[in-house]
Amino acid sequence: MPQSQANVIIIGANFAGLNTAKHLDAKEYVVTVIDSQTHFEWLPHIHELISRHKKAEQLRHNRQQLVERMGHTFVHNTVIAIDKTAQSVVTEKS
């Protein structure tokens, strides 16, 4: 177990961002996932929506719940800049 946890910021909580977050152990990393949209839409099952087998809300998942289930933090915001020197991001809403 490391002495201090590394901070990781993931911008975007779609397939790439959520999959990355899922593979980062909350015991090793302090992970913050940022997305400008509150919900993730499960597009691979869009045929179920088109065929009316499921309703839209059944394919829409709350990002905060998904990320918190992984042991990480979700922030609903839009990233407008990345400050490499400060190793931080600037968001639309402070």
Ligand X SMILES: Cc1cc2nc3c(=O)[nH]c(=O)nc-3n(C[C@H](O)[C@H](O)[C@H](O)COP(=O)(O)OP(=O)(O)OC[C@H]3O[C@@H](n4cnc5c(N)ncnc54)[C@H](O)[C@@H]3O)c2cc1C
Of 28, 31, 25, the closest CA to residue 11 belongs to: 31
Binding of residue 46 to ligand X (CB under 6 A)? yes
Helix (H, G, I), strand (E, B) or coil at 63: helix
* Closer residue to ligand X (CB): 6 or 43: 43
By CB under 6 A, residue 13 contacts ligand X: yes
Q: Does 21 bind ligand X (CB under 6 A)?
A: no
Stretch that binds ligand X, among 23-31, 39-47, 49-57, 65-73 (CB under 6 A): 39-47
Which pair of tokens denotes residue 69? Answer: 């289930």
DSSP state of 51: T
74 close to 52: Cβ distance less than 8 angstroms: no
Q: Which residue is nearest to ligand X (CB)?
A: 12
Please give the residue ranges that form the binding site for ligand X (CB under 6 A): 11-17, 34-37, 43-44, 46, 78-79
